[in-house]
């Protein structure tokens, strides 16, 4: 019998359909399956039944879609079309097989491919010219796979492994059809867009958005004792608290030691583009054995928009400049640069600042920026303006180098999770007053640029800077160019 829960419940027709395929949802599955919203995210523990839940969500929504979308899926008009999408084809197999089994148990004639790379399920009733239903597998690694049609629904399989851009493509593809998105995945590290989106939706669900947890002990078919099941108790005793909460209970664990805990991928990553006619800021933290990071930004309506980057290891300054000068935005006449003060120093070769001036004709301003003052400057821009709902700085998803330093993406060089962190002791306590000086090259480049453009965070007044103008000696100056903003700058109107 279906377990009654507070909140959404399943209708009688759905209950009967589930019984027909031998499925009896447990109490944590019911609100997920009954949720009427169009963009649903599930954070599940291992073996919690995520794939099974996704397939049963489809089984409920498909008849609803057929009823709501007149002229589709009726055997006369075009079929209802659905996608199963994963980071690779193989990860769609579980949902694919569950859906095939359910359609066959309900007595529908289906044509099914043996493989899922790609795979297809087609349901056509005898005597009808058009298929009523088409389900296709898609790989997020193939950009062309997500470029055709506007599906009526998308299931993201192991969705925590998909990137934010793929999720944006989901939203774009279902916009025309009024389709739905259902994503489920196991958290593998509580950094990145998926756990961040889950947490923010739990705190403030959107009009058409919802998030649910599906912990491993909720799967009473595998763990009849729930939290007190011997297998669950053994897992809890044999793993760390963080691992158990994240991988078994499906709950993000707040990362320890991040310098910029204020960074939220769903807020600070936006599809910003170069805007011709606006000043381009070119900010550089030189490096060779670590990343040589160049971040390109514009200030639009008071908001800093980092729209492009060059992030390379083993590249000289000349190499990086060669790449930069090929970018479309380089033709902008009004460009201003900023560089690490170390970039003005000679070390058996011309200083990077000199190379920028000689090779690219771009003067790079520089000054010594105290670490903690620079961190505070960045944090002031990450803050969301309560009046506009927009942060003071946003980053294009193409800037994967600096985004990896915030913990939003894997490191572009080795695919590992590496973020700018404080020094930590064995008990998880912060040691010292400065972070570890690594995995921060893009961040430092932006900090140099923010301080050069806006000054430090102060409560009022104008601050005096000692600027090292390469080739012109040291110059003390007081200028409105360096007048600090209010502590929390007014952001532009970029939507959350």
Where in the chain is CATH 3.30.420.280?
A: 266-482
CATH 3.30.420.280 for domain 266-482? yes
How high is the pLDDT of residue 190?
62
Q: What percent of the chain is modeled with pLDDT above 90?
A: 67
How high is the pLDDT of residue 316?
93
- CATH assignment of 12-248, among 2.40.110.10, 3.40.228.10, 3.60.20.30, 3.40.50.300: 3.40.50.300
How high is the pLDDT of residue 482?
29
How high is the pLDDT of residue 480?
32
Q: HEC profile for the chain? A: CCCCCCCCCCCHHHHHHHHHCCCCCCCCHHHHHHCCCCEEEEEECCCCCHHHHHHHHHHHHHHHHHHHCCCCCCCCCCCEEEEEEECCHHHHHHHHHHHHHHHHHCCCCEEECCCCCCCEEEECCCCCCCCCEEEEEEECCCHHHHCCCCCCEEEECCHHHCCHHHHHHHHHHHHCCCCEEEEEECCCCCCCHHHHHHHHHHHCCCCCEEEEEECHHHCCCCCCCHHHCHHHHHHHHHCCHHHHHHHHCCCCCCCCCECCCCCCHHHHECCCCCCCCCCEEEEEECCCCCEEEEEEEEEECCEEEEEEEEEEECCCHHHHHHHHCCCHHHHCCCEEEEECHHHHCCCCCCCHHHHHHHHHCCCEEECCCCHHHHHHHHHHHHCECCCCCCECEEECCCCHHHHHHHCCCCCCCCCCCCCCEEEECCCCCEEEEEECCCCCHHHHHHHHHHHHHHCCCCCCCCCCEEEEECCCEEEEECCHHHCCCCCCCCCCCCCC
How high is the pLDDT of residue 491?
33
How high is the pLDDT of residue 172?
93
How high is the pLDDT of residue 424?
83
Where in the chain is CATH 3.40.50.300?
A: 12-248
- Segments of the chain with pLDDT less than 70: 1-8, 143, 189-190, 203, 254, 347-348, 428, 458-496
């Amino acid at each position: 019998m279906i377990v009654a829960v507070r909140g959404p419940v399943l209708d009688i027709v759905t209950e009967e359909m589930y019984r027909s395929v031998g499925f009896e949802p447990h109490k944590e599955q019911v609100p997920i399956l009954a949720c009427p919203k169009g963009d649903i995210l599930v954070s599940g523990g291992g073996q919690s039944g995520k794939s099974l839940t996704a397939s049963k969500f489809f089984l409920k929504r498909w008849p609803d879609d057929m009823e709501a979308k007149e002229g589709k899926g009726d055997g006369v008009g075009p079929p209802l079309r659905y996608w199963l999408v994963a980071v690779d084809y193989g990860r769609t197999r579980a949902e694919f097989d569950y859906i095939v089994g359910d359609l066959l148990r309900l007595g529908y004639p289906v044509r099914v491919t043996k493989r899922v790379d790609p795979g297809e399920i087609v349901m056509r009733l005898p005597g009808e010219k058009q298929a009523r239903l088409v389900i296709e597998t898609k790989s997020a690694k193939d950009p062309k796979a997500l470029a055709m049609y506007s599906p009526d629904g998308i299931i993201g399989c192991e969705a925590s492994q998909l990137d934010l851009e793929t999720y944006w493509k989901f939203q774009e593809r279902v916009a025309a059809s009024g389709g739905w998105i259902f994503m489920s995945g196991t958290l593998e590290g509580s950094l990145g867009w998926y756990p961040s989106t889950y947490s923010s939706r739990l705190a403030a669900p959107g009009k058409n958005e919802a998030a649910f947890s599906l912990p491993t002990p909720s799967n009473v078919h595998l763990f009849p004792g729930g939290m007190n099941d011997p297998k669950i108790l053994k897992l809890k005793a044999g793993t760390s608290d963080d691992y158990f909460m994240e991988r078994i209970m499906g709950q993000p664990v707040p990362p320890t030691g991040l310098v910029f805990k204020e960074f939220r991928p769903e807020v600070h990553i936006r599809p910003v583009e170069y805007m011709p006619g606006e000043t381009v800021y070119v900010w550089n933290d030189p490096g060779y054995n670590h990343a040589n990071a160049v971040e390109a930004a514009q200030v639009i309506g008071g908001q800093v928009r980092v729209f492009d980057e060059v992030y390379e290891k083993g590249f000289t300054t000349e190499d990086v400049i060669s790449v930069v000068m090929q970018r479309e935005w380089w033709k902008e006449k009004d460009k201003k640069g900023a560089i690490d003060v170390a970039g003005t120093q000679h070390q058996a070769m011309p200083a990077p600042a000199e190379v920028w001036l000689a090779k690219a004709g771009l003067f790079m301003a520089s000054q010594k920026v105290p670490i903690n003052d620079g961190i505070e400057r960045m944090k002031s821009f990450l803050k969301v303006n309560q009046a506009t709902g927009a942060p003071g700085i946003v980053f294009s998803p193409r800037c994967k180098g600096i985004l990896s330093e915030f913990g939003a993406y894997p490191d572009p060089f080795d695919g590992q999770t590496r973020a700018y962190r404080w020094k930590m002791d064995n008990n998880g306590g912060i040691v010292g007053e400065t972070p570890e000086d690594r995995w921060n090259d893009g961040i430092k480049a932006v900090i140099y640029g923010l301080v050069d453009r806006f000054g430090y965070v102060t409560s009022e007044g104008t601050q005096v800077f000692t600027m090292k103008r390469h080739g012109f000696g040291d110059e003390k100056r007081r200028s409105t160019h360096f007048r600090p903003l209010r502590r929390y700058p007014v952001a532009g109107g970029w939507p959350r």
